[in-house]
Chain A
């Protein structure tokens, strides 16, 4: 079963985490075979939000939702069940200053 682990946190707090901690974890989870993809994101001031209404594209500066904790990165993982996903997510270094939202991946069925 695939889960997306969304890494949230206050950017200044996340910045304080040594890059090496994140790189070490990334290497470990990739070697374990649980990681399908993972990336860190540029700071939220680089975000652009797009909407299409009645065929027209609207473009605004900033993230979709203005919150204190920002989306900072993600891990797409493969786990047997939620408990395993939780254990993997708990080891993501930003979990110690921010939060990790674990979401099961939805499979669309083509008809």
Chain B
């Protein structure tokens, strides 16, 4: 038997578990995100007052949806005196229509609707990210601002403008039709991966990793997998994030310096995340239509399963890059492939591929390419060329840990 003191805690737990679903459904009923948020807060306020006396209802989710709806109807009625008369009845009719018989099922659909609306490609990527973190993850404006190192006012503005566009341009609250689903899903996955990558590194500044966002991105990936279990790129992306995140503790040392994959202490890798990631990759590779996320995850899985850098199956990795290059041609993929080829066939082969990229004018602003070039020269004993490439790389990055790493290598060479 729960004591009265426990109730606020229980309501809080229910809030944390249910607010996403309840909000998503209220948005469908009310047709407006702001009104739905208000209704959600009203419903929980009443829950805090009523549940301690009357007990928690059997289906708190349905209770919250229905109380939220009625609070919204009240508001419509009160505002009706001020608004033009003809708009109200249609809105009220949808509000008072009987509740769904299969509420749980429609709740799942509502969550998907909300995800696709927040990640609609007609919103700017920044707005998609802010809206997703706000409406789906339930982060506050301040939390989002802190995570992205921007002013809360900027985040608030982005969210207000995005909501206004959803309302005024009538961005639908719907799961896209099958023929557009894969394009639209790409845009959802991109938002999730951007959130994840934001936690991994910032374009400048001292902080290399911010944990909260990676946890949110992984949570979003899990939610999406639960809602759309047969889309291969969803487990692919989730696996990729888990496998990258598994190296978090090994990726920087106590001084905050960057440690490259081949020098990481593999005992620090999070084995639970590795195991889950590997299972998800295998699952994704078995589904038809897997793409770039799944292949990148497969590459990460080969690394994760190798006992040491030297024992990595580089043949397998080069093979995966060859497939990736075909379905997703990009200079970054070429560069990563060059690094893998260097590991398989020696630094001279890698250098040849990087020089081909440079002669095509590709990635000439990318510090990592010059860092890789420097590394190959260093391994080939070409000291001067290595020094020159490290210096070039240093000019191209503002990221402090990366700079310290490059500077360390450079100093080692200069002291030789």
Residues of A in contact with B (beta carbons under 8 Å apart) = 1, 80-83, 86-87, 102, 104, 109
Chain B positions within 8 Å of A104 at CB level: 168-170
Q: Report yes or no: A83 in contact with B174, Cβ–Cβ below 8 A.
A: yes
B84 touches A81 (CB 8 A): no
The answer on a CB contact under 8 Å between A81 and B170 is: yes
| B contact residues vs A (CB 8 Å cutoff) | 84, 120, 122, 168-172, 174, 176, 180
Q: Which residues of B contact A81 (CB under 8 A)?
A: 170-172, 174
Contact at B84–A82, with CB atoms within 8 Å?
Answer: no
Nearest 4 CB-CB pairs, A to B?
Answer: A81-B172, A81-B170, A104-B169, A82-B171
Residues of A within 8 A of B176 (CB): 83
Contacts of B170 in A (CB 8 A): 1, 80-82, 104
Q: What are 6 A-B pairs with beta-carbon distances under 8 A?
A: A1-B170, A81-B171, A83-B171, A83-B172, A83-B180, A102-B169
- A81: nearest chain-B partner, CB-CB: B172
**Alpha-carbon gap, A39 to B180, bound state (A):** 29
Least CB separation from B84: chain A residue: A109
CA distance A80 to B180 in the complex (A): 16
Minimum distance in angstroms from A85 CB to a CB of chain B: 8
Chain B residues, Cβ within 8 Å of A86: 122
Tell me the bound Cα distance from A82 to B172 in angstroms.
7
Residue of chain A at shortest CB distance from B122: A82
- The answer for the CA separation of A63 and B120 in the assembled complex, in Å, is 33
B174 near A82 with CB under 8 A, answer no
A63 to B147, alpha carbons, bound, how many Å?
44
CB distance from B114 to the nearest CB of A (A): 15
A76→B123 CA distance, assembly (Å):
22
Set of chain A residues within 8 Å of B174, measured between Cβ atoms: 81, 83
Determine if B169 and A80 form an interchain contact, defined as CB atoms under 8 angstroms apart: no
- Within the complex, the shortest CB–CB distance from B183 to chain A, in Å, comes to 11
Q: Which residue of A lies closest to B177 (CB)?
A: A83
Minimal beta-carbon separation of B175 from chain A (angstroms):
11
Residues in B with CB closer than 8 Å to A82 are 120, 122, 169-172
Shortest CB-to-CB span from B188 to chain A, Å, is: 15
Point out the residues of chain A lying under 8 angstroms from B169, CB to CB: 82, 102, 104
In the bound complex, CA of A20 to CA of B174 (Å): 35
- The smallest beta-carbon distance between A34 and chain B, in angstroms, is 15
The interface residues of chain A lying within 8 Å CB-to-CB of B84 are 109
- Find chain A residues with CB under 8 A from B168 CB: 104
Residue of A nearest to B168 (CB): A104
Complex-state Cα separation, A1 to B171, whole angstroms: 11
A80-B172, A81-B174, A104-B169 known; 12 new pairs, CB 8 Å cut-off, are A80-B170, A81-B171, A81-B172, A82-B120, A82-B122, A82-B170, A82-B171, A83-B174, A83-B176, A86-B122, A102-B169, A109-B84
Nearest A residue (CB) for B171: A82
Cα distance, A87 to B180, chains bound together (Å): 10
Contacts of B171 in A (CB 8 A): 81-83
Tell me the smallest distance from the CB of B13 to a CB of chain A, in Å: 36
A1 CA / B170 CA spacing, docked (Å): 8
Complex Cα distance, B120 from A82, in Å, reads: 10
Chain B residues with CB below 8 A from A80, complex form: 170, 172
Task: Output the least CB separation between A77 and chain B (Å).
Answer: 13
- Chain B residues near A102 (CB, 8 Å)? 169
CB-based nearest B residue for A3: B169
Chain B residues near A83 (CB-CB < 8 A): 171-172, 174, 176, 180
* A109 CB contacts on chain B under 8 angstroms: 84
> Which residue of chain A lies nearest to B173 when distances are taken between CB atoms in the complex?
A81
Bound: A81/B172 CA distance, A? 6
CB-defined contacts of A1 to chain B, threshold 8 Å:
170
- Report the separation of the CA atoms of residues A87 and B172 in the bound assembly, to the nearest whole angstrom: 13
Give the one of A1, A81, A82, A86 with max B CB within 10 A.
Answer: A82
CB-CB nearest in chain B for A111 = B84
Q: How far is the CA of A55 from the CA of B179 in the complex (A)?
A: 54
